[in-house]
Chains A and B, each alone.
Chain A
Amino acid sequence: MEVFKVKKTLTRKDDKKHFYFPFVLDKDYFELVINFKYFPKYYDDKEASIDLLCAEFERAGVCMSREDAIKKLPIGNLLTVSLDGPFGHIGNAHNQKNDIAYIINKEKSSYGFLNIDVVKGEYVVAVSTHSVVTDAVEFEVIIEVKE
């Protein structure tokens, strides 16, 4: 059963921000699922990607040739999701997956999340934009619960 949904389109101006979305569970449930996806993952403008890479390496004081930059392609967006609940922080999923479901329950939650009872109360799901390199990136979070 879906209990919360948010869809948002971000631009490069939204790079390095945390977006918090509160929602409420009206009772205890067996399991909560965070369905998280964002697109596009990769930046398909090769020349712009090379320019961005070279600029960052130059800022860091490291020489990078065009050939070396090409080896590091593709570059991409990195958005991560985290969850807090009535008793505090539940977990965080910091990885490169851009279309995935995270399960939270008492027995075996997904990696990065605590094994907890999914209780009635106030929750906050957060999306963090570690890197937005494309002109726009759309993300969607759907929270489902199971009895």
Chain B
Amino acid sequence: MEFYPFEMHTHTRHSDGSFLPSSLAESVKDEGLFGFCLTDHNATTGNAEAQKASEQLGLIFLKGLEWTTFHGHITVLGGHSTSDYREINPDTVVEQIKKIQKSGDIAVLTHPCRPGSPFCSGCYDDFNISDYDIFDGFEVWSSFNPHLNTINKNAEAKYDKLCEKGCKIAVMYGRDWHGPRSNDQLVAATYIGLEELNAKSVLKAIKERRTYISIGVRANIKLKDSLGNFIDLGGEVRAGNYTLVCRLQQELARFAPENVIVEKILLSGTALEEKIETKVSFGGFAKFLTLKPGFLKVELLGKVNGKKATLLFSTPFFVS
């Protein structure tokens, strides 16, 4: 199974973006992404134009919107449900998420650690949800230059804590793409492991947690068990012995920065007795591991344009 780069958090003039839906689709194509979801603030009126443009450009397109509430933002991906963002608050959000999921859509908690009003109204996660497993996705990275962003480091830590509590949620990156970017605004992508190249497969993949987020690296990361079976990211395995198998390539699509150096792989999580940090470079990598119940996360460390950065952050493998 291959993983493909997508952008799942975008805006047009149908809310506060500067793109037309068609020009957003052209930008997605131009940057070499495989597809995108349109997530205007509390609006779906741009979806038809975006879908038409995507079909003409050969892109995978998902309808969606961003619930932009007073208590946090959530993207609803799929376009099968209807909802009223004005009814979403800490008392009703879980019920509303279940409702959209029942219709076949998925819910992604966006930029949960971004400061809220007066900087970004409602951006910070103030839903006070007791069980984050309700979410299908968690935007660990957000915005431009995600590798340099302190806010994203806080989101990484929050995500790790949720995994320690037993939550199983797909990691996502959201550019929160409102308009054309300048050369110094570097971006990552959400890589999604697809069985087929269509929107339905994208939704299924996120529900099954086959994602990683990366700036500049395209990877294939699997666990191989003693019988030779391969398990993808986000998968659930039993405690025991496995080989972690990675294939690492530089992302050459236009959206990715050019000057990327991979230096180390960092394996962490409660499935390991202790963290493992090993030198690595583009190419193949394999590591024998004994996993106990918990989660195993894979990160790549290196440099982007000479600055130290986390290049890749995976949805973990979950070990029972």
Chain A residue at minimum C-beta to C-beta distance from B68: A94
**Contact for B16 among A16, A49, A60, A96, CB less than 8 A:** A96
- B interface footprint on A29-65 (CB within 8 Å = 1, 0 otherwise): 0000000000000010000010011001101111100
How many residues in A have their beta carbons less than 8 Å from beta carbons of B?
37
Encoded as 1 (CB less than 8 Å from any A CB) or 0, chain B from 86 to 128 comes to: 1000000000000000000000000001111111011010000
**A39–B11 alpha-carbon span in the complex (Å):** 26
Given A56-B119, A60-B114, A111-B45, residue A95 in contact with residue B16 (CB < 8 A): yes
Does A119 sit at the interface, judged by CB under 8 A?
no
- A94 adjacent to B118 (CB under 8 Å): no
User: Does B6 reach chain A (CB closer than 8 Å)?
Assistant: no
Are B154 and A60 touching (Cβ within 8 A)?
yes
Cα–Cα distance between A44 and B42 once the two chains are bound (Å): 29
Contact with A along B130-174 (1 / 0, CB 8 A): 000000000000000000001100100000000000000000000
Q: Is the CB of B42 within 8 A of A75?
A: no
Q: Is B13 an interface residue (CB 8 A)?
A: yes
Docked pose: A56 CA to B114 CA in angstroms: 10
Verify A126–B86 contact, CB threshold 8 A: yes
Contact A91 B43 (CB under 8 A): yes
User: Chain B: interface secondary structure?
Assistant: loop
B115 to A, closest residue via Cβ: A60
User: Which chain B positions have C-beta within 8 A of A92?
Assistant: 41-43, 85
Would B14 and A53 count as touching, CB distance under 8 A?
A: no
On chain B, the number of residues with a Cβ less than 8 Å from chain A's Cβ atoms is 30
* B273 interface contact, C-beta 8 A: no
Q: Which residues of A contact B118 (CB under 8 A)?
A: 43, 49, 52-53, 56, 75-76, 131, 133
Bound complex: CA A16 to CA B72 (Å): 12
The answer for the CA separation of A128 and B84 in the assembled complex, in Å, is 13
For residue B151, which residues in chain A have a CB less than 8 angstroms away from its CB? 60, 62
A-B contact count (CB 8 A): 91
* Residue of A53, A62, A112 contacting most chain B CB atoms (<10 Å): A112
CB-defined contacts of B270 to chain A, threshold 8 Å: none
| CB pair A94 B42 closer than 8 Å | yes
- Residues of the A chain whose Cβ atoms lie less than 8 Å from the Cβ of B45: 91, 109, 111-114
| Chain B residues with CB under 8 A of A111 | 12-15, 43, 45-46
> Would B113 and A61 count as touching, CB distance under 8 A?
yes
Residues B33-61 near A (CB distance < 8 A): 40-43, 45-46
Asked if A18 and B86 sit within 8 Å, CB to CB, the answer is yes
**Minimum C-beta distance from B17 to chain A (A):** 9
Chain B residue nearest to A64 in the complex (CB) = B115
CB <8 Å contact, A60 and B86: no
Query: Do A62 and B15 form a contact, CB below 8 Å, given A94-B42, A111-B46?
Result: no
Which of B12, B68, B117, B118 has the most A CB atoms < 10 Å from its CB? Answer: B118
Say how far B128's CB is from chain A's closest CB, in angstroms.
14
B313 touches A (CB below 8 Å): no
Check A13 for interface membership: any CB of B closer than 8 A: no
Show 11 residue pairs from A and B whose CB-CB distance is below 8 angstroms, ordered by the A residue: A53-B119, A56-B118, A62-B154, A94-B41, A94-B68, A96-B16, A111-B43, A112-B14, A128-B86, A130-B68, A131-B121
- Chain B interface residues (CB < 8 Å from chain A): 12-16, 40-43, 45-46, 68, 70, 82, 84-86, 113-119, 121-122, 124, 150-151, 154
Closest 7 CB pairs of A and B: A94-B41, A16-B70, A75-B118, A130-B121, A60-B115, A131-B121, A95-B16
Please name 6 further chain A to chain B contacts, defined as beta carbons within 8 Å, in addition to the given A18-B86, A61-B113, sorted by A numbering: A62-B113, A76-B118, A92-B85, A94-B15, A94-B43, A112-B14
